[in-house]
Amino acid sequence: MASKQRVLIVDDDNNIAELISLYFTKECFETMIVNDGESALPAVESFHPNLILLDLMLPGIDGYQVCREVRTNNSVPIIMLSAKGEVFDKVLGLELGADDYIEKPFDSKELVARAKAVLRRYKPTPAVKETSEEKAVEYTDLSINLTTYSVLYKGEVVDMPPKELELLYFLAASPNHVYTREQLLDQIWGYDYIGDTRTVDVHIKRIREKIKDHANWKISTIWSIGYKFEVRN
């Protein structure tokens, strides 16, 4: 029998946290609740969640800082929960490494649906190598391996969350091919993703911060259309 997937709920409002826990327990998830940022970080290490539901407005360490700390050594999917619905707040959360952002108040069915969609897209590095052919692309000073979920840039390992790596690999595997934002959203996030094309822009920005343009290649913006991995002869 397969083990239950674990959801860590981080919210200072225990009534909301208990309600969220009830939603996910009914869907056969195992849950754990913590009510502040300081407790969230050790809980990630001890509980080993498959998904973190993270409130932004926390006492002490806020949700943004928790997300930043988790992302230093862990690619577990994170969905941010907040009553702050401004575009700036959403973009900041995504830039720090969140996988989705849901405004409060939210519908319980939508929350669970988004969580399941994020979990379907998340592919952790396998502990045992698959016998299937390795998926990797290499360019000068850049190696992207989708089988081991690893990126090497100028000989150094680059820490990259799963969807950033998948997006980079997808573009690099088809050099000089232009993809629209909608195509990239469908390919990397899936048709069931409840979001908009700004998600693609945010992830491209994060990739560019980690991997700078090279003399032989770069990620090019095709204005009003999308992006391509441009390879120069």
The string of pLDDT tens digits covering residues 12-21 is 999 999 999 9
- Quote the tokens at residue 170: 């997808």
Say which range, 83-92, 135-144, 195-204, 218-227, has the weakest mean pLDDT: 83-92
Q: What pLDDT was estimated at residue 233? A: 61
Domain 6-121 annotated CATH 3.40.50.2300: yes
- Mean per-residue pLDDT over the chain, rounded: 86
Q: Provide the pLDDT for residue 79.
A: 93
- Tokens 């969220």 sit at which residue? 20
> Quick one: average pLDDT of 123-129?
45
pLDDT tens sequence across 45-66: 999 999 999 998 888 889 988 9
**What is the location of CATH 3.40.50.2300 in the chain?**
6-121
What average pLDDT does this structure show over 195-201? 80
Residue 90 reports pLDDT greater than 60: yes
Long-range contacts of 110-115 (CB under 8 A, 24+ apart): 110/194, 111/20, 111/23, 111/53, 112/23, 112/24, 112/27, 113/192, 113/194, 114/79, 114/194, 115/7, 115/24, 115/51, 115/53, 115/79
pLDDT digit string, tens, across residues 147-161: 888 999 998 999 988
Percent of all residues in the chain with a pLDDT value above 70, rounded to a whole number: 91
pLDDT at residue 124, as a whole number: 57
Query: Looking at domain 136-231, does it have CATH number 3.30.230.10?
Result: no
Q: Find residue 145's DSSP bridge partners.
A: 136, 150
What pLDDT, on the 0 to 100 scale, is given for residue 61? 87
pLDDT band at 192 (very low <50, low <70, confident <90, very high): low
Helix (H, G, I), strand (E, B) or coil at 101: strand
pLDDT at 57: 87
The band of 92, judged by pLDDT with boundaries at 50, 70 and 90, is confident
Please say if the pLDDT value at position 126 is more than 50. no
Domain with CATH 1.10.10.10 in the chain: 136-231
pLDDT of 129 > 50? The answer is no
Does the N-terminal peptide bond of residue 126 adopt cis geometry, omega within 30 degrees of 0? no
When pLDDT is averaged across residues 88-100 and rounded to a whole number, the result is 81
Q: What average pLDDT score do residues 219-229 get?
A: 92
Q: What are phi and psi of 81, to 5 degrees?
A: -120, 130
Cβ-based neighbour number of residue 69 at 10 Å: 16
**Average pLDDT for 216-231:** 92
* 153-185 pLDDT tens trace: 998 999 988 889 999 999 999 899 999 988 888
